[in-house]
């Protein structure tokens, strides 16, 4: 059986609807692309200046001038376009991005996102994160449910500096699919082998549970 | 993965326009003016339109057809000098005209397309064009708030396109087209040549297909596109 | 002998120094280009999206997609570039235009320019005029010295709506070359066959005359 | 008429930089980073520089050489994540770092290049990045004043150029280059291939030569331009 993390990524891939323009953040989100069916109609955007991202290439086949925002050597597809950084974020801020998938340090029950700074420990700068989080039409998070120490990443409020307010719509973790609702976190699906009690215990804020047993992934 | 197909017909695209819509129209003189989309909008008949266009073309050309048919209530523009008919409508109080400095109109449209609220500029300070505009001090110097412009629809003319809506222009036919193609909720491009995906290289693209909603290939180029005999 | 107007235009052409980027306004200024020596190193800009303007073409040789801002069918030279209207005025406003030559209804002794509107009579809109007048590094005016009724175009103050304040550096007319100085209009050169008295009479504000006989053109 | 010639050498161009200058540097990662101009600036030795660059490259690459040589006092950037050395300098108080949201840095530079005073944006409202910024209300909604950025010098990398300084880029090597090439008093471009006038067609030009002051052809491409082996 595949790992819960792999199944989380495969499940997140089903979030992408035909015709969408999508930006996949550095880290786990970029792996989502491997789970899209061949020929699926979608446009992948990377903020350093490419729409129509093709497969990642090994160094010996890479083009030195063709990377994604995470520095991976990528390729083009028929219909790809190159552009500058102002044009790239014009797309983002003007609402042409249907979906972005981001990583997270913390997500609050109201949809606040913190994913760029841990004061005193990690402050490399926000890059394009604020604009993606604030302006993509739909923002979903891909993340382990807890940090390495086992502390919840889903919290009543974010303690870390925010990336953007009330931006997250849905969270895919290795334990569950959880929506941000006006009432707070609401469990929609659960990972195979997990119990509702386990997920609620690992969540740092009240978790609304479904009446019927939820679908698994 | 495959980039989505956005091809349609001129008529199907124009059918989306409603009474009261704001409509950006590319072009500076003849080059880049989407003559066929404009004619289709006349046939379509939507009324009470706000047009945003650099100029009013010349009599019996381009957007003058929409002015003559009475479909336009308001025109946001920079210069009407070649269209005496437009000036007469304005002077008769039948057309509400807002004049902008040309580069400021370009920046206001681009700001709309870039998801900005406004740009601050010192252009026109102390002239009629500054009247009624909010002023912000930057390092002690007054600047005008030039608010972002967006429209319900943009009508674009491009020389070449692919089926995803990537566009390429030629000559001085760019003008306002690449800017307006960023700044409307529904961007419709008429194109002289529609190419399969990949025929327009990634480096040739001047308007990225992400901004474009509908692409329609022109069957013929009417006489309105030709060199004007003066 | 050529007309005073022709000689005014030829004289204005000498205002263009090697290496300059120049925008020539609609009307008289566009004729300046015919007086530049072959191979002269200059870049002509037209605000509708072309740098490197080549000769004007007759209709039968014209490219339907290649006009200048006045609607004339022009051509390219080796090294020409096409661009959009935002880029075009970015050049103007950021100071990349060394010189612009404009027409005028009125020029004031402090350099104020009015050239776009005659209330109640002529109000086609300002086009690119404000930005050219306000932001080109040097603004010169080409104009007949008086209007058709014989009234001075050079005045103590402009009566018409302004295009830009204190922008004009020099005026080329069919009678004289006149600089705007802190003290007001100052005659620098005079048209062949004209007297200083005639020029002063045709000027609507005090005209500072040179001590020695000025050069003619 | 003939377009002026702006060709020079890397060393002659870099010699114009003075102590205390602000210097924009193109590039996002390796693509578009003017590695040779940066090396020449290290050799030149100008100090107390303010650099404006999207990222700090990686250790021992690109602008990291300027950080290591102690020539940089201030860095205006978006992300240092791939350069632990830059982060260490910042944390030790030896490098003053100003972080911008990436697209806002792009717009601030573009605004400088477009002769605007600022852009108004709602990006980062309610976050650390809004601190200290002037706020302007637009139709009742608060916007941050993001002031235009210009520099004394811009260092640009392009794939192709002509002798007038018209530039064309490739792949994801555009990034900040076309924006910075508008926004400095002295714009210096290193180019992989220098072409005679006319070899770059008017439609291929991505940065118009009017913005560019000096063009220098690279004799060789050092290893720093190559695919990074990780």
User: By residue range, what is the domain housing residue C48?
Assistant: 4-208
Query: Of B3, B164, B208, which is closest to A83 when you measure between CB atoms?
Result: B208
Tell me the pLDDT tens digit for each residue of B8-60.
Answer: 999 999 999 999 999 999 999 999 999 999 999 999 999 999 999 999 999 99
Beta strands in B21-109 (DSSP E): 22-25, 49-52, 72-77, 96-99
pLDDT greater than 90 at residue C123: no
**Which residues make Cβ contacts (< 8 Å) with residue D117, sequence separation at least 6?**
B119, B120, B121, B122, B138, B141, B143, D111, D147, D148
* CATH number for the domain that contains residue C59: 3.40.1080.10
Q: Give the pLDDT score at D230.
A: 77
Q: Give the pLDDT score at C179.
A: 98
pLDDT greater than 90 at residue D227: yes
Q: Verify whether the Cβ–Cβ distance B120 to D122 is below 8 Å.
A: no
Q: Is residue C116 part of a domain?
A: yes
Q: Verify whether the Cβ–Cβ distance B203 to A82 is below 8 Å.
A: yes
Rounded Cα–Cα distance for residues A82 and A61 (Å) = 19
Q: Which residues of chain C does D164 touch, with a Cβ-Cβ cutoff of 8 Å?
A: 43, 52, 79
Q: Give the pLDDT score at C120.
A: 87
Per-window interface: D 153-212 vs A, CB < 8 A: 159, 169-179
CA distance D161 to chain C (A): 10
**Taking a C-beta distance cutoff of 8 angstroms, is the pair D171, D194 a contact?**
no
Rounded Cα–Cα distance for residues A128 and D77 (Å) = 11
Q: Is residue C22 part of a domain?
A: yes
Q: Is residue A52 part of a domain?
A: yes
CATH 3.40.50.300 fits D10-114+150-217, yes or no: no
Whole-angstrom CA distances from D138 to A146, B135, B146, C134, C189 are 41, 12, 10, 27, 52
Tell me the pLDDT tens digit for each residue of C131-140.
Answer: 999 999 999 9
pLDDT greater than 60 at residue C1: no
Question: How would you write the pLDDT of chain B (230 residues) with one tens digit per residue?
Answer: 899 999 999 999 999 999 999 999 999 999 999 999 999 999 999 999 999 999 999 999 999 999 999 999 999 999 999 999 999 999 999 999 999 999 999 999 999 999 999 999 999 999 999 999 999 999 999 999 999 999 999 999 999 999 999 999 999 999 999 999 999 999 999 999 999 999 999 999 999 999 999 999 999 999 999 999 87
Domain count, chain A: 1
Q: Is residue A178 part of a domain?
A: yes
Q: Spell A138-161 as b/e; 16+ CB within 10 A means b.
A: bbbbbbbbbeeeeebbbbeebebb
Q: Give the pLDDT score at D229.
A: 87
Chain B residue with Cα closest to D135: B136
ipTM above 0.90, yes or no: yes
**Residue C188 near chain D (CB below 8 Å):** no
Q: Give the pLDDT score at D184.
A: 98
Cβ pairs bridging A and B (under 8 Å): 91
Q: Which residues of chain C does B223 touch, with a Cβ-Cβ cutoff of 8 Å?
A: none
Q: What percentage of residues in chain A have a pLDDT greater than 90?
A: 94
CA distance A206 to chain B (A): 36
Q: Which residues of chain D does B143 touch, with a Cβ-Cβ cutoff of 8 Å?
A: 117-118
Return the closest-CA partner of residue A158 out of A118, A198, A200.
Answer: A118
Q: Mean pLDDT over residues C147-159, rounded? A: 97
Across chain A, mean pLDDT equals 96
For chain B, give every domain's residue range.
10-114+150-217
C73: confidence class by pLDDT, cuts 50, 70, 90: very high
Q: Verify whether the Cβ–Cβ distance B111 to D119 is below 8 Å.
A: yes
CA angle D6, D8, D9 (to 5 degrees): 160
Q: Considering just the CA atoms, what is the radius of gyration of chain D in Å? A: 18
Tell me the pLDDT tens digit for each residue of A112-159.
Answer: 999 999 998 888 999 999 999 999 999 999 999 999 999 999 999 999
Least confident interval from C38-42, C119-123, C173-177? C119-123
Q: Which residues of chain C does B78 touch, with a Cβ-Cβ cutoff of 8 Å?
A: 125-128
Q: Mean pLDDT over residues A51-59, rounded? A: 95
Q: Give the pLDDT score at A123.
A: 87
pLDDT greater than 70 at residue C11: yes
Q: Which residues of chain C does D209 touch, with a Cβ-Cβ cutoff of 8 Å?
A: 43, 51, 79, 81
**Which residues make Cβ contacts (< 8 Å) with residue A145, sequence separation at least 6?**
A152, A153, A154, A173, A174, A175, A176, A199, A202, A203
Active-site annotation of A, residues? 47
Chain B residue with Cα closest to A87: B114
Q: Spell B208-222 as b/e; 16+ CB within 10 A means b.
A: bbbbbbbbbbbeeee
pLDDT greater than 60 at residue A96: yes
CA distance D87 to chain B (A): 31
- Quick check: helix, strand or coil at residue A203? coil
The predicted model scores a pTM of 0.98
Across chain D, mean pLDDT equals 97
CA distance D127 to chain C (A): 31
């Amino acid at each position: 059986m595949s790992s819960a993390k792999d199944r989380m990524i495969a499940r997140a891939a089903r979030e992408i609807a035909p015709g969408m323009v999508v930006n996949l953040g550095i880290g786990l989100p970029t792996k989502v692309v491997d789970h899209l069916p061949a020929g699926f109609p979608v446009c992948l955007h990377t903020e350093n200046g490419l729409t129509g991202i093709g497969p990642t290439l090994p160094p010996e086949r890479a083009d030195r001038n063709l990377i994604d925002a995470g520095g991976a050597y990528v390729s083009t597809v028929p219909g790809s376009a190159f552009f500058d950084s102002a044009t790239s974020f014009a797309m983002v801020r003007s609402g042409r991005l249907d979906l972005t998938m981001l990583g997270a340090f913390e997500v609050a029950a109201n949809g606040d996102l913190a994913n760029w700074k841990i004061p005193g420990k990690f402050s490399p700068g926000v890059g394009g994160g604020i604009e993606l989080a604030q302006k993509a039409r739909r923002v979903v998070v891909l993340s382990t449910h807890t940090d390495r120490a086992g502390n919840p990443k889903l919290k009543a409020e974010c303690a870390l500096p925010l990336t953007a307010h009330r931006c997250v719509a849905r969270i895919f973790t290795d334990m569950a699919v959880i929506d941000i609702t006006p009432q707070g976190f609401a469990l929609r699906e659960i990972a195979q082998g997990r119990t509702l009690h386990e997920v609620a215990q690992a969540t740092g804020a009240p978790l609304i549970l479904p009446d019927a047993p939820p679908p698994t992934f | 993965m495959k980039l989505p197909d956005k091809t349609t017909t001129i008529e199907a695209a124009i059918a989306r326009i409603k009474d009261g819509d704001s409509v950006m129209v590319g072009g500076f003189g003849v080059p880049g003016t989407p003559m066929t989309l404009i004619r289709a909008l006349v046939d379509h008949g939507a009324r009470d339109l706000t047009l945003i266009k650099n100029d009013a073309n010349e009599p019996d050309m381009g957007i003058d057809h929409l002015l003559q048919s009475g479909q336009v209530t308001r025109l946001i523009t920079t210069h009407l000098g070649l269209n005496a008919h437009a000036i007469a409508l304005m002077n008769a109080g039948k057309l509400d005209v807002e004049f902008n400095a040309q580069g400021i109109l370009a920046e206001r449209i681009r700001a709309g397309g870039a998801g900005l609220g406004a740009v601050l500029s010192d252009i026109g300070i102390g002239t009629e064009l500054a009247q009624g505009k909010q002023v912000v001090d930057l390092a002690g110097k007054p600047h005008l708030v030039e608010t972002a412009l967006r429209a319900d629809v943009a009508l674009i003319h491009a020389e070449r396109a692919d089926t995803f809506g990537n566009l390429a222009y030629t000559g001085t036919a760019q003008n306002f087209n690449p800017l307006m193609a960023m700044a409307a909720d529904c961007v419709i491009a008429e194109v002289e040549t529609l190419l399969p995906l990949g025929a327009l290289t990634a480096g040739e693209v001047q308007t990225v297909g992400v901004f474009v909603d509908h692409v329609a290939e022109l069957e013929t180029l009417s006489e309105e596109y030709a060199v004007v005999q003066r």
